[in-house]
Amino acid sequence: MTERPVATWLLVAGDPGQTTGGYLYDARIAEFLRRAGRPIDVVGLPGRFPDADSTAANALDGALAACRDGATVVIDGLVLGSLPEVLAKHACRLNLVALIHHPLADEYGIGRTLARRLFETERLALALVARIVVTSRFTARHLVDAYGVAPAKVDIVEPGVDRP
């Protein structure tokens, strides 16, 4: 993969054009940054998320390796949470930012074993990032209380709704 010259990247799981709430939120963040004069490229990564498979791990590793040193890389929580070992390879040279809608371990219906594993991998991943953007005060408090995240590391950007 060739080096990515853009200063800011947003990495998401799968097709970034999906019209679910989380993907629309991510698109709005990217749109806001562009309007503010901050170029950002949104990249959809192949593979299975959040219970990442080797395709997902290789895609994340390749995307991060292609970013120039010092680039800001915003990583959606579906991608970030289960791959701390990939993040660790790049955390020293990139400005990694987590975008957390809710912790992966809180996902409904995933089972206790997977929830425990995702809790641990997401806790490790969050320790590697420079900043964390969350969608609510509740999520911010939960990350601080349950995951040991420093409060000063967390920014809250609540989603809004379109006016008719």
CATH code of 123's domain: 3.40.50.2000
Q: What is the DSSP letter of 116?
A: H
**Domain-embedded: residue 85:** yes
Q: Can you spell out the DSSP letters for 94-113? A: SEEEEEESS-GGG-TTS-HH
Residue 3 falls within a domain, yes or no? Answer: no
Q: Is residue 40 part of a domain?
A: yes
Which structure tokens are listed for 115?
A: 């929830």
Q: How many structural domains compose the chain?
A: 1
pLDDT tens per residue, the chain (164 residues)? 555 456 788 999 988 888 778 888 888 888 888 888 888 899 999 999 999 999 999 999 999 999 999 999 999 999 999 999 999 999 999 999 999 999 999 999 999 999 999 999 999 999 999 999 999 999 999 999 999 999 999 999 888 666 66
Tell me the residue range of the domain where 27 lies. Answer: 8-156
Please report how many Cα atoms fall inside a 13 Å half-sphere around the Cα of residue 14, on the Cβ side: 12
Q: Is residue 162 one of the residues assigned to a domain?
A: no
Q: What are the distances in angstroms from CA 23 to CA 13, 136, 160?
A: 9, 16, 14
Name the residue type at position 58: N
Q: Would 2 be classed as within a structural domain?
A: no
pTM here?
Answer: 0.91
38 is a domain residue:
yes
